[in-house]
């Protein structure tokens, strides 16, 4: 016959486990409640990592940290303002023109006419959209004053978020090194050089990815805008901006942008323009994947394609587009920690095995 075993837990152990579970629950609740603020902090962190190399360059030329940050920040704001003054009027005009054309596109689509009419005649896309809208209850959404209030809240939230992100970025640039020294100060002195090396490698990996991703998206937006304009497709500035923004999203962003631009080309410039734009995106993606990305990223982000795919999928599932954007730098940082842990283990084993 088997003997029943009774396991006794001390009350102290039970309360400790309950306390840990309660603390984890409270932490998850706080993170979920403050998710918008954490999003702002994450965006500001990416921006500060992108600007910090310029700050360090000015410091190496003898400027103090505060003055270097001020110069870098003012130059970045001036560049953004200049680009806005140069492109925003054209962008607004093209967006308005495109919005004015949308009813005509919709009319042709619903009646099976025009260059996009095949979507209705062959695939009955309008009926499918109507069913999706009906099933999701979109038709029950409030309109009128409620919609106007929602738009107003969105605009106010966007302004507040932008101003907050700007100031968080500024403070991160000013106080980032001091905070890192405080963090390193919590580590035992004999272990401090190791963690300083790990921190430097993480900064190099994440900062290299952020700066590289911004540069690659800029190249994609400018080159695609030029080709769209040469192909005779209208709204070249607006579509180029769309490509640049979507190209920030790893893996899927460029494909989504290409599909959207090709559809606009079909509707507005005909088959020839759409073929030219489509061929450009196919060729450019190969150049970006095999030439531009290796040159820009260099040795900063050493992740296999499978690791990139899995990290992006997990990040997108956890936090949507922002999670997809942050997935690769987080995966790169984890890889740095794992490589250091493995190196440390090997250094501990080798002296024992050789004695």
pLDDT string in tens for the chain (355-residue length): 555 566 566 777 777 888 888 888 888 888 788 778 888 888 888 888 888 888 888 998 888 988 999 999 899 888 888 777 766 676 667 666 666 666 665 656 565 555 555 555 555 555 665 555 455 544 444 444 454 566 567 667 777 888 888 888 889 888 888 888 888 888 888 888 888 888 888 888 888 888 888 888 889 999 999 999 898 888 788 888 888 888 887 767 888 888 888 888 887 777 888 889 999 999 998 888 777 777 776 666 777 767 777 887 888 777 777 777 778 888 888 888 888 888 888 877 765 444 4
Rounded to an integer, what is the distance from CA 132 to the centroid of its chain? 28
How confident is the model at residue 107, as a pLDDT?
A: 58
Report the C-alpha gap between 351 and 81 in whole angstroms.
59
The residues spanned by each domain of the chain are 35-111+119-130+143-186, 191-346
> Would you state the structure tokens that stand for residue 254, as one six-digit string?
């460029």
How confident is the model at residue 124, as a pLDDT?
A: 57
How confident is the model at residue 106, as a pLDDT?
A: 61
Report the C-alpha gap between 288 and 248 in whole angstroms.
13
> Would you state the structure tokens that stand for residue 330, as one six-digit string?
């987080």
Q: Please report how many Cα atoms fall inside a 13 Å half-sphere around the Cα of residue 13, on the Cβ side.
A: 4
How confident is the model at residue 345, as a pLDDT?
A: 83
Rounded to an integer, what is the distance from CA 180 to the centroid of its chain? 24
Report the C-alpha gap between 83 and 240 in whole angstroms.
14
Report the C-alpha gap between 6 and 4 in whole angstroms.
7
DSSP reduced 3-state for 163: helix
Report the C-alpha gap between 298 and 7 in whole angstroms.
56
Cα distance from N-terminal residue to C-terminal residue, the chain = 51
Burial class (CB in 10 A: 0-12, 13-18, 19+), 126: middle
Say if pTM beats, i.e. exceeds, 0.85.
Answer: no
> Would you state the structure tokens that stand for residue 99, as one six-digit string?
């919005």
- What confidence tens digit (pLDDT) does each residue in 104-163 have? 656 565 655 555 555 555 555 556 655 554 555 444 444 444 545 665 676 677 778 888
- What confidence tens digit (pLDDT) does each residue in 172-191 have? 888 888 888 888 888 888 88
DSSP line for 288-354: IIIIIHHHHHTTS----HHHHHHHHHHHHHHHHHHHHHHHHHHHHHHHHHHHHHHHHHHHHHHHHHH
């Amino acid at each position: 016959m088997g003997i029943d075993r009774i396991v006794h837990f001390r009350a102290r152990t039970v309360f400790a486990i309950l306390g840990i579970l309660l603390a984890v629950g409270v932490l998850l609740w706080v993170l979920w409640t403050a998710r918008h603020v954490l999003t702002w902090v994450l965006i500001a962190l990416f921006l500060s990592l992108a600007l910090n190399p310029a700050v360090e360059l000015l410091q190496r030329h003898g400027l103090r940290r505060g003055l270097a940050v001020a110069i870098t920040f003012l130059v970045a704001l001036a560049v953004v303002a200049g680009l806005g003054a140069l492109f925003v009027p054209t962008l607004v005009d093209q967006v308005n023109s495109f919005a004015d054309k949308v009813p005509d596109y919709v009319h042709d689509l619903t009646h099976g006419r025009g260059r996009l009419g095949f979507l209705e005649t062959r695939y009955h896309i309008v009926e499918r959209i109507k069913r999706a809208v009906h099933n999701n209850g979109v038709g029950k959404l409030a309109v009128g004053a409620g919609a106007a209030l929602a738009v107003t809240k969105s605009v106010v939230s966007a302004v507040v978020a932008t101003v907050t992100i700007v100031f968080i970025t500024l403070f991160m640039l000013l106080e980032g090194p001091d905070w890192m020294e405080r963090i390193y100060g919590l580590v035992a002195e004999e272990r401090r050089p190791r963690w300083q090396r790990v921190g430097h490698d993480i900064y190099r990996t994440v900062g290299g990815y952020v700066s590289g991703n911004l540069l690659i998206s800029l190249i994609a937006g400018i080159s695609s805008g030029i080709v769209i304009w040469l192909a005779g497709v209208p709204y070249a500035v607006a579509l180029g901006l769309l490509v640049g923004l979507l190209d920030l999203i790893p893996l899927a962003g460029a494909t989504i942008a290409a599909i959207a631009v090709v559809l606009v080309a079909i509707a507005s410039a005909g088959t020839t323009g759409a073929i030219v734009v489509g061929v450009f995106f196919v060729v450019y993606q190969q150049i970006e994947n095999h030439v531009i990305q290796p040159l820009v990223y260099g040795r900063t982000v050493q992740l296999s394609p499978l690791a990139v795919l899995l990290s992006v999928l997990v990040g997108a599932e956890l936090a949507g587009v922002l999670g997809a954007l942050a997935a690769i730098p987080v995966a790169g940082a984890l890889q740095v920690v794992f490589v250091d842990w493995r190196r440390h283990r090997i250094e501990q084993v080798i002296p024992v095995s050789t004695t």
